[in-house]
Amino acid sequence: MQSKHLIPIGAGVLAALAFPLAAVAQSAQAKATVDAAKAAGIVGEQADGFLGFVSVPADPAIRRAAEEINAGRAAAYRDIAAKNGVTPDAAGSAAYLQVVQSRLKPGEYYKPAGGGWVRK
């Protein structure tokens, strides 16, 4: 992604995600499930702006909750991309860099671009 696109994408991401990521087309149950899975080190945030699995979840509810949240994020990234003339991938990456990273809590996992899982 070219840096000249970061500012407009970032502004669009920040405007669209001004509310917590919970506001992005997900149920309270999905958010609670994913928050617990993040705290347990099962789910983490990826540089593409989506949730990923640090370890394989034993509970299928965790997978469903992460899929629900990722679907909401994908829709938001498509909308942001259309409004800013960029790709959804660029919008997702900008969301990770400008919104998601700042919300990571100590002990949670994240996966930077081109890297493996890292614990904050």
Report pTM. 0.81
Helix intervals (H) in the chain: 6-16, 28-39, 60-84, 88-95, 101-103
Determine the number of helices (DSSP H) and then strands (DSSP E) in the chain: 5, 4
Residue 107 has pLDDT above 90, yes or no: yes
- CA 9 to each of CA 58, 81, 112: distance values in angstroms, whole numbers, following the listed order: 36, 8, 19
Are the CB atoms for 92 and 50 separated by under 8 Å?
A: yes
Which of 3-12, 93-102, 106-115 bottoms out in mean pLDDT, i.e. has the lowest? 3-12
Are the CB atoms for 30 and 73 separated by under 8 Å?
A: no
Q: To the nearest whole number, what is the mean pLDDT of the chain?
A: 86
Residue 2: per-residue pLDDT = 47
Which of 19-33, 45-59, 78-92 bottoms out in mean pLDDT, i.e. has the lowest? 19-33
If one compares 14 and 97, the residue with the highest pLDDT of the two is 97
Residue 104 has pLDDT above 80, yes or no: yes
